[in-house]
Amino acid sequence: MEKRVIFRGWWLPALLIAPQVFISAVFFFYPAGQAVWQSLFIPDPFGLSSQYVGLANFEFLLSDKFYRASFVTTAVFSILVTLCSMIPALFLAVMADRLIKGSGVYRTLLIWPYAVAPAIAGVLWLFMFNTRVGVVSWYLGQLGYDWNHVLNGGEAMGLVVVASAWGRISYNFLFFFAALQAVPRSVIEAAAIDGARFWRRFWTIVLPLLSPTTFFLLVVNIVYSFFETFGVIHTITSGGPQQSTTVLVYKVFSDGFVGQDLGSSSAQSVILLFVVGLLTIVQFKFVEKRVHY
């Protein structure tokens, strides 16, 4: 789409885009280029010089069992976060949609956790399940279950999943609720006259009509669990125990800043770059074209 009416001149537009060009060149393109460049080198232990190694960093990474484990961890984590945030959100949205009055009040109340930073969400959930003072872990102990996410990898994963999914429920709820409100009443009423009960109407009419929103949310939530959950993992488990909650983004951080292994960290950045690219393509293919059935 183009404008018919335009203004003339080239120095004015050049001036207008200058700040954006400058900031993205310095803080975006240069660092991104550096990541690609550094991924081809191995610096010596003192950081004085580095040696060109071609794709050796990548070969090493892909054969490294910790890195491959991190891929699996990330996949498990993203799928769980996506499911744990979308299913309750859909349920609540369906419930809110059945109400004639009061859905606005519930919406206002449910919107809250979205504003809570992932890192703060991490602190809140850590507090509930803390092995020494946590309320929930204490009551679990009373029931005879010994909760210890510091030692038990499965429990650690469960905790970071729930803490990450919690704030996303609000987000998904807003989108599902808006989509449900847009489902034409006449279609629902026609089905009701034909004798379809609520859950039947939901499975056969409402859910298919929600498919564009669902696809959109699937992609967005996977992207979220890849990149924006760093705060949750860092506050609750710091990637442990035994790397059982080290997702890819966390590994870029821990290898790059804690382990000071710049070559490997950059190579990981480049791999992530491909993953993001792939997700973006999926998003454009499925979401932008609006899947309708």
Partner 1 sequence: MAREIHGMVEKRGAGLWLTHVFMILGVLVIFFPIWLAFVASTVTQPEIVKPPMPLWPGDQLWENYSKALFSGVNVPVTTMLINSLIMAIGIAVGKIIISLLSAFAIVYFRFPGRNIFFWMIFLTLMLPVEVRIVPTYEVVAGFGMLNSYGGLIFPLIASATATFLFRQFFLTIPDELAEAARVDGAGAMRFFWDVVVPMSRTNVAALFVILFIYGWNQYLWPLLITTDPEMNTIVMGIKQMFPSGDDVADWPVIMATSILAMIPPVIVVVSMQRLFIRGLVDSEK
234 makes contact with partner 1 (CB under 8 A): yes
116 makes contact with partner 1 (CB under 8 A): yes
Give the shortest CB-56-to-partner 1 separation in angstroms.
Answer: 18
225 by Cβ neighbours in 10 Å (0-12 / 13-18 / 19+) ranks as buried
Q: How far apart are CA 235 and CA 123, in angstroms?
A: 6
Closest CA to 169 of 111, 125, 118: 111
* Options 98, 148, 182, 259; binder of partner 1; rule CB under 8 A: 98
DSSP SS3 for 286: helix
Show Cβ contacts of residue 61 under 8 Å, excluding neighbours closer than 6 positions: 67, 264, 267, 268, 271
According to DSSP, the residues that pair with 52 across neighbouring strands are: 41
257 makes contact with partner 1 (CB under 8 A): yes
Q: Residue 71 or residue 138: which is nearer to partner 1 going by CB?
A: 138
* Options 112, 145, 199, 203; binder of partner 1; rule CB under 8 A: 112
* Options 58, 202, 215, 230; binder of partner 1; rule CB under 8 A: 230
* Options 62, 135, 151, 258; binder of partner 1; rule CB under 8 A: 135
Write out the two tokens for 255.
């290898």
49 makes contact with partner 1 (CB under 8 A): no
Size of the site for partner 1 (CB under 8 A): 101
SS (H, E, C) 48-99: CCEEECCCHHHHHHHHCHHHHHHHHHHHHHHHHHHHHHHHHHHHHHHHHHHC
* Options 40, 84, 96, 206; binder of partner 1; rule CB under 8 A: 96
60-79 positions binding partner 1, by CB under 8 A: none
242 makes contact with partner 1 (CB under 8 A): no
Task: Please give the backbone phi and psi of residue 42, each rounded to the nearest 5 degrees, phi first.
Answer: -120, 120
287 DSSP assignment:
I
* Options 66, 127, 145, 199; binder of partner 1; rule CB under 8 A: 127
Q: How far apart are CA 218 and CA 79, in angstroms?
A: 9
Q: Residue 36 or residue 62: which is nearer to partner 1 going by CB?
A: 36
Give the shortest CB-139-to-partner 1 separation in angstroms.
Answer: 7
* Options 67, 171, 210, 225; binder of partner 1; rule CB under 8 A: 171
Q: List the Cα angle 155/156/159 in 5-degree steps.
A: 85
Here's the x/- map for partner 1, 145-164, by CB under 8 A: it reads as --------------------
Q: How many residues does the chain have?
A: 293
Q: Residue 51 or residue 280: which is nearer to partner 1 going by CB?
A: 280
185-224 positions binding partner 1, by CB under 8 A: 185, 188-189, 192-193, 198, 216, 220
